[in-house]
């Protein structure tokens, strides 16, 4: 059976500035986001790879303007990416409308 785990957090009205840094190799498998009400102020929710190889390799893996389509739910399972010790994922969103937001990143052990 696969060894899955979650990195979960929520904010109640504030900005999102979270980092996930694995201690060993894991596969990023999915992203789930729930917003309490659709934002009306434009702003991008982003997941960015902070690469262990340096800034030249940092990459925005996922970005969505939650206000554009009145988005309250995001599910993405097309993110399969190997993360190793020294890599990190930075999750950011200004949350100008002060919504409550729950975020889950789903991982599978690579060992």
Q: Give Cα separations from 36 to 44, 71, 90, 108 (angstroms).
A: 16, 10, 22, 28
Range(s) of the domain holding residue 52 = 4-109
In three-state secondary structure terms, 108 is strand
The CATH number of the domain holding residue 30 is: 2.60.120
Tens of pLDDT, residues 7-63: 999 999 999 999 999 999 999 999 999 999 999 999 999 999 999 999 999 999 999
- Of 108, 98, 104, 107, nearest to 33 by C-alpha is 104
pTM: 0.94
How many Å separate Cα 101 from the centre of its chain? Answer: 12
- Of 18, 22, 38, nearest to 82 by C-alpha is 22
User: How many domains does the chain fold into?
Assistant: 1
């Amino acid at each position: 059976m696969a060894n899955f785990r979650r990195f979960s957090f929520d904010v109640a009205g504030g900005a999102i500035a979270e980092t996930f840094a694995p201690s060993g190799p894991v596969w990023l498998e999915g992203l789930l986001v729930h917003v309490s009400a659709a934002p009306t102020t434009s702003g991008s929710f982003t997941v960015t790879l902070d690469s262990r190889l340096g800034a030249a390799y940092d990459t925005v893996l996922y970005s969505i303007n939650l206000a554009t389509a009145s988005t309250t739910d995001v599910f993405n399972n097309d993110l399969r990416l190997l993360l190793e010790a020294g890599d990190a994922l930075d999750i950011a969103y200004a949350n100008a409308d002060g919504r409550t937001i729950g975020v889950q990143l789903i991982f599978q052990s690579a060992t």
